[in-house]
């Protein structure tokens, strides 16, 4: 059996909230500002609206294929052969997602905390914690996210309140100068990072005790909305305090934002403490990417226990994280130009096609029953 662990609706809300923030809060303000300049926050709002439509699509897909993982959905909709091929593509992207997030983590440590420490060591240490969480099972990961949530909220409130005195509203002007096309593309980039990866949580949706009830569905929308708005708020603060130019040029603008905290020239240089925000959300996103990868792969291979794959998959993840981005310029080009259409196919086009196939099959079965 893959994993008998169960989670409740509240735990699903927590993981959706932390997962949607993930690395988005660390890197997306830069991408939005480079596309939409001072209108980056508007692009973020557009991205939240797109994200709500995506959550609606995923809940509809969940309703058509109740109790199925994404691998199971592909095989039921397209048959065992084609469905398995599509499932392997899905698994491959889960692997890419886990490796890229691990790259962000190691690069963040290298730049800001441990410049003389080999990247391999940092990546391996973080991957070890991810593997430990995944081997302990879904219930352990979900309870860990519940324990981390209060700390995240406390740090987030401290971040917002301590930065409020430094806001300069003039940096938002002129509003909508970049035009609708840039704002919309910024919204696509935002939703591609924050919301489209939710498709990989189909590996845990069948483990929700209540199933897709109205309460669970409402909680899913609420937590996804809250996560997106939290990132929009951080993006807005980056524009209001750093300005669009500095935000666009910074690799991790939200961390540069934290360095601006100074209250009475006494409370300052607390960025290391507030970096806990990024550690919490990044760990949760990496863990769920990785969990989706190993459980889906074990389902395709029909293994009795996914834990047999955790160590070799972790070794692949660490090695690939070192080569996935040859340099920063390549990373920025991939994230802003290549990644959006890539994730749109995986997280929008394919789920929409599977949903339509499920509806057609359901209507045919209903017609056959009536006859």
Residue 78 CA to residue 94 CA, distance in Å, equals: 20
7 three-class SS: strand
**Residue 369 — very low, low, confident or very high, per pLDDT cuts 50/70/90?**
very low
Domain boundaries, the chain: 9-370
Residues 205-264: pLDDT tens digits?
Answer: 888 988 878 888 999 999 999 999 999 999 999 999 999 998 888 888 888 888 877 766
Does position 370 have pLDDT exceeding 50, yes or no?
no
User: 268: part of which helix (H) or strand (E)?
Assistant: strand 267-268
What percentage of residues in the chain have a pLDDT greater than 90?
44
* 8 Å CB contact between 113 and 315: no
**Residue 24 — very low, low, confident or very high, per pLDDT cuts 50/70/90?**
confident
Does position 195 have pLDDT exceeding 80, yes or no?
yes
Does position 371 have pLDDT exceeding 70, yes or no?
no
Q: CA distances (Å), 99 to each of 96, 110, 224, in order? A: 5, 16, 23
Give pLDDT, residue 109: 85
Does position 69 have pLDDT exceeding 80, yes or no?
yes
State the average pLDDT over residues 169-176. 86
* Residue 180 φ/ψ, nearest 5 degrees: -65, -35
Query: Which pTM does this prediction carry?
Result: 0.91
* Residue 314 φ/ψ, nearest 5 degrees: -65, -40
Does position 366 have pLDDT exceeding 50, yes or no?
no
State the average pLDDT over residues 192-213. 88
Q: Say whether domain 9-370 belongs to CATH 1.20.1740.10.
A: yes
Give pLDDT, residue 363: 56
* Residue of higher predicted confidence among 261 and 74: 74
* 8 Å CB contact between 175 and 38: yes
Residues 319-359: pLDDT tens digits?
Answer: 999 888 887 778 877 877 788 888 899 899 999 999 999 98
């Amino acid at each position: 059996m893959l994993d008998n662990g169960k989670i409740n609706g509240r735990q699903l809300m927590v993981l959706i909230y932390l997962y949607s923030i993930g690395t988005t809060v660390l890197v997306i303000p830069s991408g939005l500002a480079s596309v939409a300049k001072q209108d980056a926050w508007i692009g973020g709002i557009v991205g939240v609206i797109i994200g709500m439509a995506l959550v609606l699509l995923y809940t509809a897909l969940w309703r058509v294929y109740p109790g199925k993982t994404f691998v199971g959905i592909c095989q039921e909709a397209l048959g065992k052969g084609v469905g398995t091929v599509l499932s392997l593509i899905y698994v491959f992207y889960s692997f890419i997602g886990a490796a890229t997030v691990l790259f962000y983590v190691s690069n963040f440590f290298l730049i800001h905390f441990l410049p003389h420490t080999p990247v391999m060591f940092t990546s391996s240490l973080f991957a070890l914690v991810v593997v430990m969480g995944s081997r302990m099972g879904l219930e352990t990961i979900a309870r860990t996210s519940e324990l981390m949530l209060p700390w995240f909220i406390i740090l987030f409130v401290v971040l917002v309140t301590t930065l409020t005195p430094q806001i300069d509203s003039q940096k938002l002007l002129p509003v909508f100068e970049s035009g609708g096309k840039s704002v919309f593309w910024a919204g696509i980039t935002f939703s591609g990072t924050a919301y489209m990866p939710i498709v990989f949580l189909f590996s845990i949706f069948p483990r929700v005790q209540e199933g897709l009830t109205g309460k669970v569905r409402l909680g899913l929308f609420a937590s996804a909305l809250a996560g997106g708005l939290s990132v929009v708020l951080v993006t807005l603060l980056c524009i209001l305090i750093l300005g669009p130019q500095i935000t666009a040029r910074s690799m991790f603008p939200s961390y540069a934002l934290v360095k601006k905290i100074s209250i009475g020239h006494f409370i300052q240089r607390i960025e290391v403490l507030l970096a806990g925000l990024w550690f919490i959300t990044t760990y949760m996103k990496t863990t769920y990417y990785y969990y989706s990868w190993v459980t889906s792969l074990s389902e395709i291979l029909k293994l009795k226990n996914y834990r047999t794959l955790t160590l070799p998959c972790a070794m692949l993840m660490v090695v690939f994280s070192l080569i996935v981005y040859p340099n920063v310029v390549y990373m920025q080009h991939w994230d802003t130009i290549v990644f959006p259409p890539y994730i749109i196919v995986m997280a929008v086009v394919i789920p929409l096609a599977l949903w339509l196939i499920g509806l057609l099959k359901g209507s045919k079965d209903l017609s056959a029953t009536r006859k």
